[in-house]
Amino acid sequence: MRHYSIVFNTDTGQRRTIRITNPNTDLPVSTISNAIDQMLENDVFDPTRGKLESLNRMEKTIVEVSSIL
């Protein structure tokens, strides 16, 4: 399983995180960056907990499971 974790900073000093499960990891970084810019411009989170201000970090996690028996 693979997922991206995207962490945003808010204008109240908090952080908001989303996880994208099974992403298309073949997308160019520029395409991903443009999508994050769109998220920042069109904030879908509850504004009472802070408006998205900037990207804090984005991580790709890969979990591999192998059955032994």
Residue ranges making up the domain that contains 25: 2-62
pLDDT tens digits, 9-40: 999 999 999 999 999 989 999 999 999 999 99
In a domain, 68, yes or no: no
First to last CA, the chain: 20
Q: What is the DSSP letter of 55?
A: E
pTM: 0.83
All residues at 6 or more sequence positions from 52 whose CB lies less than 8 Å from its CB, including other chains: 8, 9, 10, 16, 39, 40, 43, 45
How many folded domains does the chain comprise? 1
In a domain, 54, yes or no: yes
Q: What is the DSSP letter of 18?
A: E
In a domain, 8, yes or no: yes
